[in-house]
Structure 1
Amino acid sequence: MTSLLELSGISKSFDGFQAINNLSLQIGEPELRAVIGPNGAGKTTFMDIITGKTKPDTGTILFGDDNRSLIGMSESDIASLGIGRKFQKPTVFEAQTVRENLAMALKNPRGPFSVLFYRKTKDGAARLDSIAEEINLTDHLQRPAGELSHGQKQWLEIGMLLAQSPRLLLVDEPAAGMTAHEREHTTDILKRAAQTCAVIVVEHDMEFVRRLNCKVTVLHEGSVLAEGSLDHVTKNPTVIDVYLGRTDAGH
C-alpha cells in the first residue's frame, strides 16, 4: 500500500491554545482509518488543516503520487486534487430529487462550473445507478432529498462525494443520530468506499469503530497517542486513562 497523505511535524495554536502539537501521520491508498480521541483532542482541526480551512503554524503535508505540498493551497484547489470532506450535518439539496443530487455531483472535471454544464450520458447514468445502489438509495431516486431520513441524507451526501471519484474522503462522525440499522449500513458503505480510495473516519461511537474493523489512530492534545487495531489501542493504559476512562467516551 503506497502512502497517499503524509503529515509531518504539524502544529497549530489558537490564542495560546495548542490544538495540534507536532502531529505526524501517514495514510495509504486505499485505506480505511478511524481517528478517535476525547473532546478537544484536535480531531476537527486535523481535518481543517488537511482541507486547507486552517493553515498550520509548522510542519508539512504531502499528498498524491508527486508528493505535492498542501500547505498554502486554497480549499477549492485542495478539493480539486480529490480530497472530499463530509461534515457531521448532512448538506444535500433538499428540494432536488436524490437522482438530481447525485447528477450534480457527477461532475468531471472537478470544478464549481462543471455542474452547470452537466450533460446526461450513458456512462453518467450507469455510474449514477451504481452509486445509488452502493448507498442503498436505488428505490428513492425520484424522492426529494428533503423527505429522506437523517441516515439516508448522510448516505446521499457520501454518495455525492463518491460521485466525484475522490482519492481521500474525510468523514466526520457519520454514526451520530443514526438508527442501529443505518449505522450498520453506513459501515458497509465506508468499507466499500475504502477499497478504491483512502477514507478517514472521525468517530466517537466505539461500536461503530469496531465494525469498521480498521487501523485506529488515537489523538490526544493534538498528538498521536496510540495507533493500531481497536483492541490494541483500547488496551493501552494511557488511552484508558485519557479517553476510555472518561464518562464522555463513546458518546
Structure 2
Amino acid sequence: MSTLLEVSGVSVTFDGFRAINNLSFQIGEAEMRAVIGPNGAGKTTFMDIVTGKTRPDEGRVIWGEKSISLLGMNEARIAQEGIGRKFQKPTVFEEQTVQENLLMALKKPRGWFAVLTYRPSDADLAKVDDLAAQIGLTDQLTRTSGELSHGQKQWLEIGMLLAQEPRLLLVDEPAAGMTPAEREHTTDILVEAAKTRAVVVVEHDMEFVRRLNCKVTVLHEGAVLAEGSLDHVTADQNVIDVYLER
C-alpha cells in the first residue's frame, strides 16, 4: 500500500511547552486509523499541523504520490489538495435543508460568478442522493438542518466533507454526545468511507475504537507511544501506565 501522508520528525513548541515532540506518522491511501491518547497528548495539534493551521518548528509533512510538502501551503490550499477535517462540534448551515447543505458542499468552481449563477444539474442532485444514502439521511433531505438530532448533524457534516471528495478525512471525536445506535451508524459511515480514502479518527471512546477494527496510534507528550491493533496497544505497559489507568 502506497503512503498518502507522511509526517516525519515534526516538533512544535508553544510558549516553552513542547506540544509535538519529534512525531512521525504515516497512513496509506485507503486506510482507517484511530489516534488515541490522554488529554494534552498532542492529538489536536497533530491535526492542526496536517491541515496547515499550525506551522511546526521542524520536520516534514509530505503528501501524495508526488511527495509534495504541505508546510508551505495555507489551509485553503491544503483543503484543495484533498484533506478534509471534521471538528467535534458539527458546523452545518442550520437554516438550509439537508439537500441544500450537501449541494453547497459539492466539489465545484468557487468563484463568485460560479456561485451566483449555480443551478444544480441532474448529476449534482444524483450525487447528493448518493451522499444522503451513504450517511443515512435519505429520508431527511427536505428537512431544515437545524431540526436534526445531534447525531444526524454529525452525519450531515461528514457527508458535506465527503461531497468535497477528500483523499484524507480527519475526524475529531465523532462519537461524543451520541446514543449507542448513533455511534454504531457513525462507525458504519466511517468504515465505508475508509474503503476509498484514508480516514484518521481521534477518539476517547474505546468501544467505538474497537468497532472501527483498525490500526491504532497512541500519542503521549506529543510523540508516538505505541502503534498496532487495539489489543496490542492496550496490553502495552507504557500505554496502561500513562493512559488507561487514568
TM-score under structure 1 normalisation?
0.95
Partner of 1:80: 80
Structure 2: distance between partners of 1:179 and 1:112: 40
TM superposition shift of 1:112: 6.6
Partner of 1:59: 59
CA deviation vs aligned residue, 1:195-230 (integer Å, no higher than 9, x gap):
111000000000000000000000000000000000
CA deviation vs aligned residue, 1:76-124 (integer Å, no higher than 9, x gap):
0101101000000000000000000000001324x47555453312221
Structure 1: distance between partners of 2:129 and 2:116: 21
CA contact (8 A) 1:2 1:29 kept: yes
Partner of 1:28: 28
Structure 2, unaligned runs of 5 or more: none
Partner of 1:249: none
Partner of 1:176: 176
Structure 1: distance between partners of 2:111 and 2:191: 28
Structure 2: distance between partners of 1:118 and 1:93: 18
Residue 118 and residue 161 in structure 1: after superposition, are their counterparts in 2 closer, same or farther (change >3 A)? farther
Partner of 2:194: 194
Structure 2: distance between partners of 1:26 and 1:119: 40
Structure 1: distance between partners of 2:116 and 2:4: 31
CA contact (8 A) 2:107 2:165 kept: no
Structure 2: distance between partners of 1:243 and 1:116: 51
SS of the residue corresponding to residue 61 of structure 1 reads strand
Structure 2: distance between partners of 1:177 and 1:217: 23
TM superposition shift of 1:125: 1.4
CA contact (8 A) 1:107 1:118 kept: no
SS of the residue corresponding to residue 92 of structure 2 reads coil
Partner of 2:39: 39
Structure 1: distance between partners of 2:231 and 2:111: 43
Aligned residues: 245
Q: How does 1:118-129 map to 2 (within 5 A)?
A: 118-129=118-129
Q: Percent identity?
A: 73
SS of the residue corresponding to residue 201 of structure 1 reads strand
Amino acid paired to 1:44: T
CA contact (8 A) 2:86 2:172 kept: yes
SS of the residue corresponding to residue 99 of structure 2 reads helix
Moved more, 97-106 or 115-124: 115-124
Structure 2: distance between partners of 1:171 and 1:203: 9
Structure 2: distance between partners of 1:245 and 1:216: 18
Structure 2: distance between partners of 1:71 and 1:106: 26
SS of the residue corresponding to residue 155 of structure 1 reads helix
Amino acid paired to 1:87: F
Partner of 2:208: 208
Residue 25 and residue 124 in structure 1: after superposition, are their counterparts in 2 closer, same or farther (change >3 A)? same
Structure 1, unaligned runs of 5 or more: 247-251
